[in-house]
Structure 1
Amino acid sequence: MIKIPQVNRKLTLKVFCLIVTCEAVDAAAQILMKKGLSALNLNPLSFEGLLRFASESTDSGFVQLGLLIYTLNFFIWILILSKLDLSTAVPLTSVNYLILPLFSVLILHEKISVVRWIGILLIIFGVVWISRSKSENLKGPTLT
């Protein structure tokens, strides 16, 4: 059995800021990838299209920068996982449901309906609710 050393796994302001940074970096990478791929106007749904997509998408500066930023995102995520339980960290990444639409509106000039914004706020509310729960305070059986 693999032993995982116990460290302070509480959600601190510092760790929360790391999560927000990680998700902002992720959103930036996705925006860059979208801009780069939209400019190429590729359709990867056929084999020939997939080969062309693989070839031309890697020539895009936006796509290359997006991939580089995804690498940064990976290292920030590893740092987060060293500080926080996975079952706590992953739901908190849902903050991306707010960050990415904001970036999409501001940078890509996408239009987002009121109904979608309400859905996004409900997701954020659920994330806050999950993050505030403490497993040691739960009554009854838990999955551990």
Structure 2
Amino acid sequence: MLKTVVVMLMAVTAGTIGDLLLARGMKELGDLSTMNLKTIFNVFLQALTSPKLVFGTCFLAVFFFLWLAVLSWEDLSVALPMQALNYILVAFLSQYFLHEMVSPLRWAGTVLVAIGVMMITKSGGA
């Protein structure tokens, strides 16, 4: 189980970094919902060369392959809740790096997720 926790922490960290980079990169490219089809295509081409989006995608690929490794030896019912740790990291790091406002209600939800993850992980024999 220690192996699972260590690899999942690495996976969640890689996934969180990837998500943060993608979010920042897309904010820099603009709101797609306000663009016409031609502009969206141009943004798509820009996205292919945006360092934040390229590195974000690479970090998410690392997450994916670590996740595959965990699934090869751990029960899904134990491993999947560990991914919820991503919510906790995203809340903290989004506030710090992306300057997002995280409301008290969102923090309360994040704490509940953390408690649930700990309970499920303990039930798996950690």
TM-score (norm 2): 0.86
Alpha-carbon distance in structure 1 between the residues aligned to 2:104 and 2:24:
24
Greater Rg, structure 1 or structure 2? 1
The one-letter code sitting in structure 1 at the alignment partner of 2:79 is: A
Deviations 1:102-132 (A, max 9, x none): 1112211222111110111111212222233
Q: Does 1:28 align with 2:17?
A: yes
Q: Residues 78 and 49 of structure 1: is their aligned pair in 2 closer, same or farther, counting only changes over 3 Å? A: same
Specify every segment of 5 or more residues in structure 2 that has no aligned partner in the other structure, as ranges: none
Sequence identity of aligned pairs in percent?
26
Q: Which of 7, 26, 32 is 1:18 aligned to?
A: 7
What SS does structure 1 have at the residue aligned with 2:32?
A: coil
Q: 1:94 aligns to what?
A: 84
Is 1:106 the counterpart of 2:85? The answer is no
Structure 1 residue 68 corresponds to structure 2 residue 58: yes
Query: 2:117 corresponds to which letter in structure 1?
Result: V
Deviates more, 1:94-103 or 1:36-45: 36-45
Structure 1 contact 18–76 (Cα < 8 Å) conserved = yes
Matched letter for residue 50 of structure 2? S
Q: Give distance in 2, aligned partners of 1:72 and 1:133.
A: 27
CA displacement, residues 27-67 of structure 1 (integer Å, 9 cap, x when unaligned): 10011111111111141564334323322211211101111
Letter of the 2:70 counterpart: I
Higher relative contact order (CA 8 A, sep 6+): 2
Unaligned runs of 5+ in 1: 1-11, 135-144
Report if the CA contact (8 A) 1:42-1:49 is conserved: no
